Structure 1
Amino acid sequence: MPRLRYFLNLAETLNFTEAARRSGVSQPSLTRAIQRLEEDLGSPLIYRDGKDSRLTALGRDVQAEFMRIELALRNVREHSESTTHGRRRILDIAVAPTIGPAPFAAFFDHALGELPSVKINVHQLLAGEGADEVLSGKYHACILPRAPRPNPKLNVVPLFRERFLLACAESHPLARNDVVSTEAIAAYPYVDRLACEFHTEIIEHLMDHDAVMQPRFSTEREDWVQQMVAEGRAICITPERSTVAPGIALRKVEGLALAREVVLVTVSGSGTPLEIRKIAQLAARHDWT
């Protein structure tokens, strides 16, 4: 392998002194290595004519083959590095439990195509977790339903804005309306999304419009909420892009202008792994519509 690099440096410079300098060896050492290579191959690789040198026909063929070998070795090295956790090739990204996967499938597929040496592990944030877990190094990035408090150590990339809408089964009577009144909402069983970061704002809006909800079923599990709704057993108010269960219709709620802006949060600065900086750049350019 050293002789491969020595020869490629010599073939590029056609100067033994410069080739030795690039190779980090003395000129006599490089000369001996080239001579041994020629002996192994049984033919000269370079014409030496005083200060002028040029590759022989075999030398040009060997140069082309050695360049292919060097490229193959570089690819092997990159594959090896991609499995080394310490090089941060595996990226841990945590997502708030109320954020649905639908908007992210195309983005992550695109990101993996742009970053072939990266593997992405997606985790669910636990209750009370957020941007602090990025600062602590637990995760490389977090996807949150609202921007954290301003912090110069954090890089916040806005992704998309989504409204809070009424979710009901497609066969539900409320699905016949484009806009549903709070009075109509109060007439049906309501499932309470306990993990919702805007839970207080939603309840206050309903109460301000004389709709006092008394849910008999509450859960932090979004999949359980959506299953109840899809089967027509209850209704709820949910972010418009979080639904994944089939059979759910979304309708505007009269007077409710509540919305959230989903963001990607990473640590700022040059110390951030290159791969996560590229993820943030791709997210900023992605068409989230």
Structure 2
Amino acid sequence: MERPELPLPQLHAFVVLAEELHFGRAAARLGVAQPPLSQQIRRLEDRVGHPLFSRGPGRVALTPAGRELLPAALRVLTGLADGLAAARAVGGGRAGRLRIGFSASLALTVLPGLLHTFRERFPAVHLDIREMTTAPQIAALHDGSIDVGLLREPPSDEAELVFATVLREPFVAVLPSAHPLAAQRAVPVAHLAGSPFVLLPRAAGPRLHDQITGLCVASGFTPRIVQHAVEWQTVCALVGAGLGVSLAPASIRRIRLRGVAFRGIEPGTARTRVAVAWRRNDRTPLVANLLAAVNPLDGPSAGDGPLPGFPGTGPPAPD
């Protein structure tokens, strides 16, 4: 059965008159003359089939039918107002659901500051935060299951995605505390040639994996990888257990594990790039507002070091 169209202007006039119980005051509040108000009420009464107000000299009162209609009319108008406000908030990116992928190590650098800044500006937005390595984030951006990614070493051949640099971070050597090289302040990468390595699998982040192995190759050896781990915290734990050594982004020093030492490397010029990623054709206000909170600095000209204004992205704490 087809539902009748809601007479919203008539309901509005009815509610205002029910609150004022005076045609003159109600008309003034609505910004109309009294005759058009009377016509709106008559039309609504015709729809109902019964009078909604009893009228007498200097007196207006709700009839039983009017008293029955008033709560429903208020619910309709309130629901409509709430719906319009919610639609405006979502349309303007001030509400809704934003899905963000992030590499676990970025919880030690840019992620806390980003979430804090965005939450302060847009408290009504629901943030769906998903921990993912770089390759799964790229796939999730393509299939639409996340809206924005925070990742390391983005690929260079992604025409459908945009990447903007937010941080460039040096590398450190991750060593068992008892390792002879742990006594040095900085470790030449070439001196790791005889040690077994623990690394992230290449599938988790191909460019970062290749960058790390490339540091070794540039120092004259191919790393002997004896164990893979998907998360850097696990890599550090396995190093602490004596399974090998590793090279990792410097922010990993914030992971405090007994039996693990972090040392700078020589040469120390290499940097790992942290970027925010989104779909090129995504014009949604939610994504635009997040990018404004990140204030991304695109391309290698952005320079090294943390993004200004981000809490928690300063240099790593000493051992």
TM-score category by the smaller chain?
A: 0.5 to 0.7
Structure 2 residue 248 is the aligned partner of structure 1 residue 238 = yes
User: 2:293 is aligned with what amino acid?
Assistant: L
Give the alignment of 1:246-261 within 5 angstroms.
Answer: 246-247=256-257, 248-261=260-273
Match of 2:197 in 1: 190
Structure 1 unmatched runs, 5+ = 21-25, 42-65
Cα 1:125/1:184, change in 2 over 3 Å: same
- SS of residue matched to 1:215: strand
**Residues 67-102 of structure 1: per-residue CA shift (max 9 Å, x gap):** xx97xx7499649x98xxxx98222222246x4311
Cα 1:140/1:10, change in 2 over 3 Å: farther
- SS of residue matched to 2:106: coil
Match of 2:118 in 1: 111
**1:157–1:284 contact (8 Å) kept in structure 2:** no
Structure 2 unmatched runs, 5+ = 1-10, 45-51, 54-58, 63-73, 297-306, 314-319
Give the alignment of 1:90-129 within 5 angstroms.
Answer: 90-96=97-103, 99-103=105-109, 104-125=111-132, 128-129=135-136
**Residues 126-167 of structure 1: per-residue CA shift (max 9 Å, x gap):** 674444532432211122213444777544332111122212
**2:153–2:208 contact (8 Å) kept in structure 1:** no
Structure 2 residue 15 is the aligned partner of structure 1 residue 15 = no
- The number of residue pairs the alignment matches comes to 248
Higher mean C-alpha deviation, range 249-258 or range 156-165: 249-258
* Aligned-pair CA distance for 1:117: 1.9
> Which of 271, 276, 287 is residue 287 of structure 2 equivalent to?
276
* Aligned-pair CA distance for 1:268: 4.3
Match of 2:216 in 1: 206
Q: Measure, in 2, the Cα distance between the counterparts of 1:193 and 1:262.
A: 16
Q: Measure, in 2, the Cα distance between the counterparts of 1:40 and 1:148.
A: 72
Cα 1:175/1:88, change in 2 over 3 Å: same
User: 2:263 is aligned with what amino acid?
Assistant: R
- TM-score, normalization by structure 2: 0.59
- SS of residue matched to 2:146: coil
Give the alignment of 1:1-289 within 5 angstroms.
Answer: 2=12, 15-16=31-32, 27-29=37-39, 39=60, 74=82, 78=86, 89-96=96-103, 99-103=105-109, 104-125=111-132, 128-131=135-138, 133-149=140-156, 154-169=161-176, 172-194=179-201, 195-196=204-205, 197-231=207-241, 233-242=243-252, 245-247=255-257, 248-268=260-280, 272-284=283-295, 287-288=309-310, 289=313
**Residues 215-264 of structure 1: per-residue CA shift (max 9 Å, x gap):** 33233343321212345553200111245531344322212532122111
Cα 1:208/1:15, change in 2 over 3 Å: closer
User: 1:89 is aligned with what amino acid?
Assistant: G
* Aligned-pair CA distance for 1:189: 3.9
Q: Measure, in 1, the Cα distance between the counterparts of 2:209 and 2:159.
A: 29
CA RMSD of aligned residues (A): 4.4
**1:143–1:262 contact (8 Å) kept in structure 2:** yes
- SS of residue matched to 2:224: coil
Q: Measure, in 2, the Cα distance between the counterparts of 1:11 and 1:263.
A: 58
Cα 1:239/1:15, change in 2 over 3 Å: same
Q: Measure, in 2, the Cα distance between the counterparts of 1:152 and 1:12.
A: 59
**Residues 174-204 of structure 1: per-residue CA shift (max 9 Å, x gap):** 3332321134323444323324432233223
Question: How many percent of aligned residue pairs carry the same amino acid?
Answer: 15
Cα 1:5/1:107, change in 2 over 3 Å: farther
